[in-house]
Chains A and B, each alone.
Chain A
Amino acid sequence: MTRHFLLAGLAFGLSALGAAAQDRPVLTVYTYDSFVSDWGPGPQIEAAFEETCNCDLRFEAAGDGAALLSRILLEGEGSEADIVLGLDTNLTAQAAQSGLFAPHGHDDVALDLPIEWNDPIFLPYDWGWFAFVFDRNRVAQPPVSFEDLARSDLKIVIQDPRSSTPGLGLLLWVKAAYGERAGEIWQALADNIVTVTPGWSEAYGLFLEGEADMVLSYTTSPAYHLIAEGDDSKAAAPFEEGHYMQVEVAARLARTDQPELADAFLDFMLSDAFQSVIPETNWMYPARRPESGLPEGFSTLIQPARSLLPSPDEAAAIRDEALAEWQAALSR
């Protein structure tokens, strides 16, 4: 028990330090780590919201989307979060099932998504298409489908679906596009895969260092190189099967002690002040296009003709089978 006293003492000291700033109501938003980083949307969004809300917006970060979900499930009813921001549709079925979230009440809002959106709980704030990104100087003829890729000698690096959300997206992409044949596609791809990394950063790093010809990322990735580095050599390969979407969403906790502030945040989330920050910090498409439009470089990006996105329940239902097929095909 000594431990608890020690910690309580420490906590007391820390909260005394922070007491001065505590007269304004606090809105606690749980999100993933890259959102709050100095290079992510967090700092600008915090400043913009605090200008209008007369509140203290606090972000708490937990790894990535899947870590965020585990955290909220762990905390359950006792969570201090008012808003959770950063799950994607591959995770929302499990989140909805927990009963921890309340409807967002923004059913009439017009979104700029390539698909219909009618989820009563989760509200999108940005989205993107998964794609294989390559360097035009190294790959002259990019593949036009998974089957084309499997036939080629191109080397790719992908992420592990067990530890990475883009990895899970790729797993479900192949499953959504090929259904029963998914296992066969993975077997055909096995000799193209250089390696499988724990997360997006490692995979993208390996690709940039020349370890692979292509990397699983987003159709928007080339925009970073173009806008931030003035480098137009990176491109995403359009696939005939269509591209799996990642829609990133936020939701309000049912037991929030700041329901009005939480609603105000969801309103703010779809306003220009929030949405205009997204393209050049999260490098995704804003869920509702701001009046100023998209940054210039975004017009050069490929626009997939077909978007693939199973419902959250379908995604949850197929992922165990898809993982088993993936493991079996790549373990040979």
Chain B
Amino acid sequence: MASRAQPIEPWIRAAASIAAALVAILTLGTLAAVARRAEGLGGLGSADWAALRFTIMQAGLSAALSVALAVPVARALARRRFPLRRLLITALGAPFILPVIVAVLGILAVFGRSGIVNDILASVGLQRISIYGLWGVVLANVFFNLPFAVRLFLQGWAEIPAERFRLAASLGFSPRDVARHLEWPMLRSRAPGAFATIFLICLTSFAIALTLGGGPRATTIELAIYQAFRFDFDLGRAATLAALQLALCALTALAAARFTLPSGHGAGLDRTVWRWDADRWLSRITDGLVIVAAVAFLLTPLGAVIARGLPALGDLPAPVWKAAGRSLAVALISTGLTVAMALPMALALAARRPPRGLETIGMLPLATSSLVIGTGLFLMLRPVVSPSDLALPVTVAVNAVMALPFCLRVLVPPARELAGGFGRLADSLDMRGWARLQHLTLPRLRAPLGFAAGLTAALSMGDLGVIALFADQDSATLPLQLYRLMGAYRMDQAAGAAVLLLALSFALFCLFDRGARGHA
């Protein structure tokens, strides 16, 4: 590894500190506000421990499966070139940005009691299967998170310099040798972070676990927090449970950092990658099968969502369009804010001696209960201003912070490669500040920055976030209008709104991601 003796540039340190402070206020600060209002933390009952066990089990299984399945899918996509490949890669990312209830309905249209799979099973005389239970929860979580893991690994493959593959080919490496010497080190640098991120996403999932879990057996910590807040009015217990969730997050972040090894491939000349090792008929067939299976799994439910909603798209009522405009504005502003926070944090984390605790702080938003953020913010804002007057600014800030962990996961590995490959040269040229940003950092990080921005915009567009706790008539976002349509029996229009939401999220995602992506 290259030595990176230079200290972190002052502007990076300052910007990263401000970003970290904002994250800390929204995560630890809101929790402290709730605990303060409760006058201390409450005790936990045996049901809470059962909830903790179930939460860890479903999150662990979901993260392990998502990461394990992502490896062959990303590998196949990285090795093959075919028409519409870039479009397919973008489309495969779509499930990650869907609002939960829309995705669940899509999954059920395929795997549910009256879904496509069961219809096929019944037509050939086999017994129908039930999706509800632990495996239904895991299936939905994998559907959501597999795309994210695939993209992380795909990015990893793209960053193995073409020269390495050229060298491997000239040394007569078999696919197994390539896997061992080039691909495995890359995976070691990415998989722990991907696992930790997905584990934490699943940790706080509440609607998926509840809707597909089949009943109170599938109680997660997040649901226990709901119960404490609104059934028992026990803020102290809610605060304890939220603290437990954050502690789990910190542990996971630490463990992930421990298991992450730098890949040490160094820098290349950005030549087009040619995979001599994969040019055999057997790997062509397996790669083809893997890609077809992934497409079927990820895109069929999506197709069901679109087919269900498309007819209603034409007669969506005016308030839905207004909300769509509001959501677009929220998404764009959040994106700017997130990128402004994520870039300095990623650069600071890529330094030889990253600021202590920064990595963990960057993960905290994943493990924060939206109910706790909402209530904590409410308690913090109320002495100063009526919270509902700030519904949209608060939504922007929360969405920005919530998307930060994903952006860091996308940006930190390439930032590390950058520091390792070009850091010394830039230091020796005394290239700093704006010049370094303009001529080295931004050009080299262009593709991951675009992906991170696209992800943030899409997530912010589709996330119900805290708006439901603050909104009045005039500040509803598109996801909130979607829920309101469902709540008013208008399921057809809600399905239409879901297609609109999907289209807008996807358009934003493409705008940033494809606009910035080079040859990945």
| Known A-B contacts A10-B385, A205-B486, A331-B217; A67 and B230 likewise in contact (beta carbons under 8 Å) | yes
**From B304, which residue of chain A is reached at the shortest CB distance?**
A209
B144 within 8 A of A: no
**From B388, which residue of chain A is reached at the shortest CB distance?**
A60
Contact of B114 with A36 in the complex, beta carbons under 8 Å: no
Contact of B112 with A209 in the complex, beta carbons under 8 Å: yes
A38 within 8 A of B: yes
Which of chain B's residues 377-395 have a Cβ closer than 8 Å to chain A? 378-379, 381-382, 384-386, 388-390, 393
Chain A residues near B491: list those with CB within 8 A: 204-205, 208
Contact of B216 with A205 in the complex, beta carbons under 8 Å: no
Contact of A36 with B472 in the complex, beta carbons under 8 Å: yes
Contact of B213 with A195 in the complex, beta carbons under 8 Å: yes
How far is it, in angstroms, between the C-alpha of A69 and the C-alpha of B229 when the chains are bound?
10
| Known A-B contacts A39-B485, A194-B214; A63 and B469 likewise in contact (beta carbons under 8 Å) | yes
B109 within 8 A of A: yes
A205 to chain B, nearest CB (A): 6
A330 within 8 A of B: yes
Chain B residues near A78: list those with CB within 8 A: 382
How far is it, in angstroms, between the C-alpha of A67 and the C-alpha of B229 when the chains are bound?
8
Binds A, one of B204-212, B250-258, B435-443: B204-212
How far is it, in angstroms, between the C-alpha of A16 and the C-alpha of B79 when the chains are bound?
59
Binds B, one of A110-118, A155-163, A172-180: A155-163
A198 within 8 A of B: yes
Chain B residues near A239: list those with CB within 8 A: none
Number of B positions contacting A (CB below 8 A) = 62
How far is it, in angstroms, between the C-alpha of A10 and the C-alpha of B476 when the chains are bound?
20
| Known A-B contacts A39-B488, A160-B223, A210-B113; A33 and B390 likewise in contact (beta carbons under 8 Å) | no
Contact of A196 with B389 in the complex, beta carbons under 8 Å: no
Contact of B113 with A194 in the complex, beta carbons under 8 Å: yes
Contact of A163 with B227 in the complex, beta carbons under 8 Å: yes
How far is it, in angstroms, between the C-alpha of A11 and the C-alpha of B108 when the chains are bound?
44
**From A194, which residue of chain B is reached at the shortest CB distance?**
B132
Binds B, one of A1-9, A100-108, A251-259: A1-9
A298 within 8 A of B: no
B12 within 8 A of A: no
Chain B residues near A194: list those with CB within 8 A: 113, 130, 132, 214
B241 to chain A, nearest CB (A): 13
A43 within 8 A of B: yes
Contact of B487 with A201 in the complex, beta carbons under 8 Å: yes
Contact of A7 with B108 in the complex, beta carbons under 8 Å: no
Contact of A196 with B216 in the complex, beta carbons under 8 Å: yes
A278 to chain B, nearest CB (A): 13
Contact of B484 with A34 in the complex, beta carbons under 8 Å: yes
How far is it, in angstroms, between the C-alpha of A52 and the C-alpha of B173 when the chains are bound?
85
Contact of B25 with A3 in the complex, beta carbons under 8 Å: yes
Contact of A70 with B230 in the complex, beta carbons under 8 Å: yes
Chain B residues near A145: list those with CB within 8 A: none
How far is it, in angstroms, between the C-alpha of A168 and the C-alpha of B378 when the chains are bound?
26
Contact of A33 with B230 in the complex, beta carbons under 8 Å: no
Which of chain A's residues 283-327 have a Cβ closer than 8 Å to chain B? 283, 319, 323, 326-327
How far is it, in angstroms, between the C-alpha of A67 and the C-alpha of B485 when the chains are bound?
19
Partner of B211, one of A80, A168, A202: A202
A187 within 8 A of B: no
Contact of A326 with B487 in the complex, beta carbons under 8 Å: no
Contact of B384 with A40 in the complex, beta carbons under 8 Å: no
Contact of B109 with A209 in the complex, beta carbons under 8 Å: yes
B428 within 8 A of A: no
B180 within 8 A of A: no
Contact of A74 with B489 in the complex, beta carbons under 8 Å: no
Contact of B489 with A33 in the complex, beta carbons under 8 Å: no
What 7 pairs across the A-B complex have the smallest Cβ distances? Answer: A11-B385, A39-B488, A201-B486, A37-B484, A210-B114, A162-B227, A66-B230
Known: A14-B390, A61-B472. 10 other contacts (CB 8 A): A7-B384, A11-B389, A15-B389, A33-B484, A34-B488, A60-B388, A63-B468, A163-B230, A190-B215, A201-B486
Q: List 10 A-B contacts (CB under 8 A).
A: A7-B381, A34-B488, A61-B471, A61-B472, A66-B231, A67-B230, A75-B382, A202-B486, A206-B105, A330-B216
